[in-house]
Amino acid sequence: MADFTHLDEQGKPKMVDVGEKEITQRIAIAQSTVQLPDEVVALFNNNDITTKKGPVFQTAVLAGIMAAKKTSELIPLCHPLALNKCDVNIELKDGLVYIQCEVRCSGKTGVEMEALTGATVAALTIYDMCKAFSHNITINETRLVKKTGGKSDFEHK
């Protein structure tokens, strides 16, 4: 059984000490999916959905980037990281919105949580901006697609 890195010997929460770790190029890609009902999909035009609040996908991209940058303020034991890159891409296919968030940094700890947070907040933003048209919107899943640069690499098969 693996030890929980965020618990001390007494079982109390702790922030992992990364002081002795090597600085490496860290990359993580996460994906969220959002199922939109037909009445919302019908509003899709010129690669976005425009509402009174503004362009949905463009706003979700900005929200995802902002969220990735603030992950350590949201997840209690995450280290604050200086991100080198954060890209959020959104695509609609057959009523399903695919949100992919890629985050990169040169650091001592990974950026999985930043990528997952960025993808999740982008999905929540789409829900928020489209709920006036329908509450029948489902955020299906958020998952890590790939990570490299740490102790072990990962790719979702």
Catalytic center residues: 128
DSSP state letters, 20-52? TSPPEEEEEEEEEEEEPPHHHHTTEETTEEEET
Helix (H, G, I), strand (E, B) or coil at 101: strand
How many other C-beta atoms lie within 10 A of the C-beta of residue 146? 16
Q: Contact 137/33 with Cβ under 8 angstroms?
A: no
Q: Contact 132/142 with Cβ under 8 angstroms?
A: no
